[in-house]
Structure 1
Amino acid sequence: MNREELKEKYGKKRVPREWRGTDLLSTLITTFFGSGMSPKAPGTMGSLAATIVAYPMAIFAAKEPLGQTDYMVGSVNFGWCFNLFFICAALIVFFGAIPFVNKAMKDTATEDPGWIVIDEVCGIFMALAFIPTEFILAQPWILAIAFALFRFFDILKPLGIHRFEKFPKAWGVMADDLLGGLYAGIVLYLGLVLVVALT
């Protein structure tokens, strides 16, 4: 995105308490329990809230009843890890949020307002889709890197991400963040593989 597009999207004045125009359940979901109500940088606050929640989610995923959630595909020297827990979490949030985002935007007569941050939550979970659960628990700093990478892709929207915003209604709100999270997850995983290979 160029500077003018960034200014138009992130520099615009936001109407305070705009979310009050919809019902409580839609508000709680779309603002991710109020994190999107921040008067400044609501997208960052929503992403941060999702990042914080991701750690106890990883603890839950590591519990024995859930069984194996991480799968490696490829050779011993190089392969891809798929964290099925966070992949499922991202997809559940993605499809589950669609009707609530549509309702919230319709009720408030808005189009992708800043306070809707459930899309950032979906993106953060997708950014962790290639990181083993045990690695997240052993090295929680990886969450900060996932957060930073996702925000990079979410704000600048390179590699065709901005095109996904043009999808109709809630699909456009959610799809660009899902793709941004996917890119962030791939970069994060390849970076970790490179670090391991060089050490």
Structure 2
Amino acid sequence: MTRIAQITGTVFGVGYIRPAPGTWGSLVALPWGWLLHVLGGFPLLVLGAIVAFVAGLWATRVMTHGSDDHDPSEIVVDEVVGQWIALMPLSYAAWSMGLDILVMWPGWVAAFALFRLFDITKPGPVGWADRRGDAMGVMLDDVIAGIFAAAGVMLLAGFAHGVLM
């Protein structure tokens, strides 16, 4: 069971890449998020994020059991979940309008950059979740960072398309 948790938590070993394993976890989430969107649109991306969250919570609990380090850097499944949440506005727009999601490439760049910004700086509730010191906090801080990034993507899209001008 521990080996399955390790594979899940490190996202097939991506979490062992140095430096910046969290950034690598976010990067690997991009093509997988694209694949989920292509295969099943927005609903499959949402389902994938939910499944990854539940699996990540379990894997984090197993990997940190009995350890003083509640958030080892090699656990990056939380970055995958957060990055997928950051991509959801793009997935929804492409899915609902029948667009190729890759035409929204500036949004992909924004989703990645904003998610990493919020995950690293941990403003407000992101930091609160991180300070919980448990497996739920490990997962939640990235969920909240992903929500912040998704909101930022929507705001930037609004400005870029003249809706918020």
The TM-score, its normalising length taken from structure 1, stands at 0.72
| Cα gap change, 1:23 to 1:108, in 2 (>3 Å) | farther
The alpha-carbon deviation at position 160 of structure 1 amounts to 2.4
- In the alignment, structure 2 segments of 5+ residues that lack a partner are none
Is 1:136–1:143's contact at 8 Å kept on the other side of the alignment? no
Q: Select which of 112, 124, 131 maps to 1:159.
A: 124
> Is the counterpart of residue 121 in structure 1 residue 80 in structure 2?
yes
- In the alignment, structure 1 segments of 5+ residues that lack a partner are 1-21, 63-82
Q: Deviations over 1:110-161 (max 9, x none)?
A: 3200000000001001101222233523333432221111000000011321
- Once superposed, what is the RMSD of the aligned Cα atoms? 2.1
Match of 2:3 in 1: 24
| Cα gap change, 1:168 to 1:157, in 2 (>3 Å) | closer
Is 1:146–1:188's contact at 8 Å kept on the other side of the alignment? yes
The alpha-carbon deviation at position 85 of structure 1 amounts to 3.5
What is the alpha-carbon distance in structure 2 between the residues aligned to residue 185 and residue 162 of structure 1?
18
After TM superposition, the structure 1 = structure 2 runs for residues 89-104 of structure 1, keeping only pairs within 5 Å, are: 89-104=48-63
Match of 1:61 in 2: 40
The alpha-carbon deviation at position 168 of structure 1 amounts to 5.0
Percent of pairs identical after alignment? 29
Structure ranking higher in helix proportion: 2
Q: Select which of 130, 150, 163 maps to 2:115.
A: 150
SS at match of 1:130: helix
Q: Deviations over 1:49-107 (max 9, x none)?
A: 11122222221124xxxxxxxxxxxxxxxxxxxx4433332222112221111001116
Match of 1:193 in 2: 158
Structure ranking higher in strand proportion: 1
Name which one, 1 or 2, has greater alpha-carbon Rg: 1
What is the alpha-carbon distance in structure 2 between the residues aligned to residue 117 and residue 183 of structure 1?
19
What is the alpha-carbon distance in structure 2 between the residues aligned to residue 58 and residue 146 of structure 1?
15
Number of residues of Structure 1 aligned to a counterpart in Structure 2: 158
The alpha-carbon deviation at position 194 of structure 1 amounts to 1.5
What is the alpha-carbon distance in structure 2 between the residues aligned to residue 138 and residue 59 of structure 1?
13
- Counterpart of 2:124, as a letter, is L
SS at match of 2:135: helix
What is the alpha-carbon distance in structure 2 between the residues aligned to residue 144 and residue 28 of structure 1?
27
Match of 1:171 in 2: 136
Is 1:36–1:45's contact at 8 Å kept on the other side of the alignment? yes
The TM-score, its normalising length taken from structure 2, stands at 0.85
Is 1:58–1:137's contact at 8 Å kept on the other side of the alignment? no
Query: Comparing 163-172 with 145-154, which one deviates more in the overlay?
Result: 163-172
Is 2:14–2:24's contact at 8 Å kept on the other side of the alignment? yes
4+ long deviations beyond 4 Å: none
